A and B are shown apart, each in its own frame.
Chain A
Amino acid sequence: MLSVKDVQKSFDQFLAVKKANLEVEKGEIVAVIGPNGAGKSTLFKMISGHLTPDKGHIFFKGKELVGKAPYQICRLGLSMSFQIVNVFNRLTVFENVQVSVLSRMKRSFDMITPARRVAVQETREILESVGLIDVENRASGSLSHGERKVLEMAVALGANPDLLILDEPTAGMAPEETVATIKLLEYLNSELGLTILFCEHNIDLVFSFANRIMVMQQGTSIIQGRPDDIRGNEEVRKAYLGGTH
């Protein structure tokens, strides 16, 4: 479904991603791990079109993504949830998700129908599935950090993606919020068939949840494989896990 080939990105003199390779198959949950500064977020931003790689190729469902704008990539079925909560602060929770649904339904230039009557059912279904229906009329700026992270994900889901990219989905969440989020992602994957690519610092969570894991170090992908293969890999132990797993 997604294929990243020898992608490179530098900022001025700093080489953030040297050579990254990644494969994601339909229906998989794939994790990208690596220490801070390994280039995970940069890689995700290149996949979603927010950054353009200096070199390399990114294919999604057989189509080249390099050079495409984020809105074009989203319309191909790839949606991203950001590490730092990136929602529409003056809009309510309902409106946040509705914007994404309206865009997907190609109603962006409908200037006549009252917005309160459009995409209501679809928006509420998403809010119910993520557990935000009770706060749908609250301003998104007034939510707790955990709720805002979930809203961030709900906005990405509004685009009805085939592949959902999550940049540290549980960062800053309380333990119970983390458990709920993982349950939600498992549900999205198993029941709705959503393919998920995510990066995460919580290693236990990654090994319990991901089908396959890609390890990045200093801007380079050093291995991609099943959790057991990653655990047993000497290079990964030295580079990242420090022999703890």
Chain B
Amino acid sequence: MEPDDHSRFKWFALVVVGLVTLGLCPYFLPRFFTYLLALILVTGLVATSLNMALGFGGMYQFHHAVFYGIGAYAVSLMLIKSGLPIVICFVAAPVVSAILALLMGFICVRLSKLYFGMLQLSLGSLVWILVFRWYSFTGGDDGLHGVPVPSWISSVTGSYYFTLIVSVVSLIIMYIVLNSPFGRILQAIRDNSERSESVGIQVRRHQLVTQVIAGFFAGVSGMLFVTVEGSAFPDLLSWTLSLELLIMCLLGGWFTFFGPMLGAAIIVSLRTMVGAYTEYWTTVLAIILMLLIFFLPEGIIGFIETLFKRSHASPGEDL
């Protein structure tokens, strides 16, 4: 076995053990923790989709939550108002998010870096205010509650397994895309878009396709959120949630694939635990952000990877 194959096998074994453990969780965890795990998976999935554009694509994706929220609203509205089969509702919701990502991306990819982020923030806020104010359609600031999710996924255990399966499949697809030639070129654009263009890469088209894929999987997460919570509300599209998602990516490691999932696990757990004692949860978030900037600029997994590389580097080799 080649060293690379050996390392890949170890990772594969680790992932299988992790998945089996996650699959058994509802049998030994209290219901609340099963629910919490489902919420972590949903949030981790949307953070991973954000990181596709942010950490791998170098796009300042400041308002990713808008695609998440639209996915949640799309599935809720279809389930409440359309009477369409559930499978169609579940598939259509991410497609709606992807179309929104295509429209917003078409405008935003003409700009770069900070200007891209500011324009996305503005356009996303427009969508948010529309959802927030359109009482007759979206329920306004009350949101949509009691979404008729089928009984086989409305229980805590049912929604957990559904979330686990869809999240794992989505993560596998994103992993394959990011490790394909498309993903490699995306990382090159992140590092140096000018140089990428001069070796024949259509930078804007690549960025636009990435926006659509990231928007699609954010929509999948939004759809999953509805199966876990049975509701959709304007906070799902808010810029504060977008900021939280950004922090999850930075905390876990924004140049790594599993970093955002780890970041989501930490932030969602902390929010749940700290939120039980104080309403000033955002203060804790602010402290985490400051510590991150000073001590872990590449996030937890990024830091571990650096340590690992350093311990395996040949003498005299710089990292």
Contacts and interface: CB of A to CB of B under 8 A. Distances in A.
Whether chain B is bound by chain A comes out as yes
Interface stretch (B43-51, B148-156, B190-198, B217-225): B190-198
A190 interface: no
B206 interface: yes
B184 A112 contact: no
B263 interface: no
A110 B182 CA distance: 6
A118 B183 CA distance: 12
A74 to B, nearest CB: 4
A69 interface: yes
Given A86-B192, A88-B192, A89-B191, A108 B185 contact: yes
B255 A115 contact: no
Interface in A127-172: 138-139, 142, 155-156, 158-159
A102 interface: yes
B176 interface: yes
Contacts of A50: 194, 198
A192 to B, nearest CB: 18
Main secondary structure of the interface of B (DSSP, over half): helix
Contacts of B191: 87-91
B203 interface: yes
A111 B200 contact: no
Interface stretch (A15-23, A28-36, A93-101, A222-230): A93-101
Given A86-B195, A91-B187, A142-B317, A112 B200 contact: no
Interface residues of B, number: 30
Nearest to B198: A70
B202 interface: yes
A88 B189 CA distance: 8
Nearest to A82: B195
A103 B201 contact: yes
Contact of B177 (A74, A88, A96, A111): A111
B198 A114 contact: no
Contact of B199 (A90, A112, A138, A159): A159
Interface residues of A, number: 44
Given A71-B198, A138-B317, A109 B192 contact: no
A90 B196 CA distance: 14
A111 B180 contact: yes
Contacts of B319: 139, 142
Interface in A211-238: none
Contact of A99 (B176, B184, B255): B184
B181 A71 contact: no
A24 B187 CA distance: 35
Contacts of B196: 88, 99
A74 B200 contact: yes
Nearest to A101: B199
B209 interface: yes
B119 interface: no
A71 B202 contact: yes
Contacts of A113: 180-181
Nearest to A97: B199
A115 B195 contact: no
A108 B201 contact: yes
Interface in A106-125: 107-116, 118-119
Contact of A88 (B180, B188, B200): B188
Given A86-B194, A88-B191, A115 B179 contact: yes
Contact of A109 (B182, B188, B200): B182
Lowest 5 CB-CB distances: which A-B pairs, in order?
A88-B191, A74-B200, A100-B199, A103-B200, A142-B318
Interface of B: 176-177, 179-185, 187-188, 190-192, 194-203, 206, 209, 255, 317-319
28 contacts: A48-B198, A70-B197, A70-B198, A71-B201, A74-B199, A75-B200, A82-B195, A87-B191, A87-B192, A88-B192, A88-B195, A89-B192, A90-B190, A91-B188, A103-B185, A103-B201, A107-B181, A108-B182, A110-B182, A111-B182, A111-B183, A112-B180, A115-B180, A115-B183, A138-B317, A139-B319, A142-B318, A155-B195
